[in-house]
Structure 1
């Protein structure tokens, strides 16, 4: 069972049945929309057509949603849900002992101490494997001691390296590999951050190319190091390598 609370919708899968619920905009007083507005809608994706739900989800709403899994929830994904607290997460875990994955980037009211306390209580009370994978999106201010505690709670036995590539479109991608924890010690600055590898070969020795996004700027499209190649800074302060810039449509490049 998986519960994803993203920007626009939530999805609960139960016994092969998928239920989607979306927020509906209230009626607005006014005349018929302009023809250009209708034309614009045809170019929007499904996510763009619905209101964001993440900022509306409270602890009580989250508990009601997860209760629909009847204790069989295994993967909880919360993206930028600022109203979810440590207590709300505790209530969800208490009623879902089969949970093994947490995905909580951008949940600003979830603190590292609260996460540690919840994991300690949950992993000690459940008869199953407990939480084995967690994506934090980086907790700012996390200490080395807290990092080691997280690894111990997740049952990390070794530091096997699994390549991690930067791309703006998958910053909030779900747990799609065997990494127990997304943060690690940056080889350059020694801070606990998201550390990325370079997808291209030959720019420098691989070990020297691994670093956080602050130490080594990367192309927002392909993830390669941009300091060793021609690149351009976009209007949104992202970097694009010359190869990726050439592939952009002219209209997108003009507004980059």
Structure 2
């Protein structure tokens, strides 16, 4: 009798421990979404439990496309932190998007590029500590590995000249405006983002094409991007926010 009670008690304790162990494990479906999470959520998930941490440390798929945008804590991103994050791709990083990451330097970018020769999308707009020379060096390094960037975004990087832009186009082996987000403004002759009025009914576009230009040369609505004239009261009323 006592042996039966003891055996039953032992079985219940074993079952309880097993249930407790199972309760502590994340549901299997959660692992499937890890590769779709934004960077900040990925880093947070790695701190949730040991299981997630081990999975993220051993799986490169979630780290192949690194995007630090307006939603991420970009102000904290330094060269050292960026190197630590991108190293998780094990040299197979495909996409690097850094928006307004002002602490990233030419040296930090070069280290990431040198260790990830398969990058085909490089977006670093408003990364004001980067220079035109640093961008050229990064693209040149990728070219040495026969990688041609599909898109390069460098708007907001200071002192980019027409000569710099020409060099980048030559390295990218493409004259298409879509490959680089900046071009030479037809009005001020500076290297900036150039906009076209999206309205087919735009009078200036239809007659003289004079609405094509950078934001410093042509006043535009921040939402719809159409050009706005000071003498056009209707346009000003409809588009209160301008670039």
Indicate whether the TM-score tops 0.5. Answer: yes
Could you report, residue by residue, the CA deviation over 1:107-164 in whole angstroms, capped at 9, with x for unpaired residues?
A: 111100111122212211x14x3323211113332221111001111111x35x6xxx
Could you tell me which residue of structure 2 aligns to residue 237 of structure 1? none
> 3-state SS of the aligned residue for 2:168?
helix
- Specify whether residues 102 and 51 from structure 1 end up closer, same or farther in structure 2 by C-alpha distance, changes over 3 A only: closer
Instruction: Detail structure 1 runs of 4+ shifted over 6 Å in the superposition.
Output: none
Please state how far the C-alpha of 1:16 moved relative to its aligned partner: 6.8
In structure 2, distance between residues paired with 1:67 and 1:108: 23
Query: Which structure: larger Rg?
Result: 2
Query: Does residue 231 of structure 2 align to residue 216 of structure 1?
Result: no
TM-score, L = length of structure 1: 0.62
Equivalent-residue separation in structure 1 for 2:215 and 2:238 (angstroms): 20
Correspondence 1:167-186 to 2 at 5 A: 179-186=178-185
2:70 equivalent to 1:67: no
Deviation per residue, 1:14-69 (Å, 9 max, x gap): 99723453599xxxxxxxxxxxxxxxxxxxxxxxxx98511111111101111122
Contact 1:218–1:225 at 8 Å: present in 2 too?
Answer: yes
Name the CA distance, whole Å, in 2 between partners of 1:52 and 1:18. 15
Task: Tell whether 2:229 aligns with 1:230.
Answer: no
Matches within 5 A, 1:1-256: 17-20=35-38, 21=40, 53-124=73-144, 126-127=145-146, 129-156=147-174, 158-159=175-176, 179-200=178-199, 201-206=201-206, 207-227=209-229, 229-230=232-233, 241-244=236-239
Q: How many residues align?
A: 179
Does structure 2 retain, via aligned residues, the 8 Å contact 1:133–1:154? no
Question: Considering only aligned residues, what root-mean-square deviation do their CA atoms show, in Å?
Answer: 2.8
Answer yes or no: is the 8 Å Cα contact 2:80–2:108 preserved in 1: yes
SS of 2:197 mapped into structure 1 = coil
Which one has a larger percent helix, Structure 1 or Structure 2?
2
Which of 1 and 2 has higher RCO (CA within 8 Å, sep 6+)?
Answer: 1
| SS of 2:226 mapped into structure 1 | coil
Specify every segment of 5 or more residues in structure 1 that has no aligned partner in the other structure, as ranges: 1-13, 25-49, 162-178, 232-239, 249-256
User: Cα offset for 1:215?
Assistant: 0.9
Unaligned runs of 5+ in 2: 1-31, 45-69
